[in-house]
Amino acid sequence: MIGLCAHKTLEIRFSDTDAMGVVWHGNYLKYFEDAREHFGELFKLEYLLIHKLGFFVPITETSLKHLEPIYYGDNIQISIKFICTKAAKIQFEYILKNLETNNIVATGTTTQVFLNESSRDLVLYKPFFFKEWESKQNWINVS
Answer whether residue 12 shows pLDDT above 90.
yes
pTM attached to this predicted model? 0.91
Model confidence band, residue 4 (pLDDT cutoffs 50, 70, 90): confident
By C-alpha distance, which of 88, 134, 86 is closest to 114? 88
Give the other-Cβ count within 10 Å of 93's Cβ.
Answer: 16
| pLDDT digit string, tens, across residues 120-133 | 999 999 999 999 99
Answer whether residue 142 shows pLDDT above 50.
no
- In whole angstroms, give the CA distance from residue 20 to residue 25: 12
Q: Provide CB contacts within 8 A for 119, sequence distance 6+.
A: none
| pLDDT digit string, tens, across residues 72-130 | 999 999 999 999 899 999 999 999 999 999 999 999 999 999 999 999 999 999 999 99
What CATH code would you report for 5-136?
A: 3.10.129.10
- In whole angstroms, give the CA distance from residue 87 to residue 16: 35
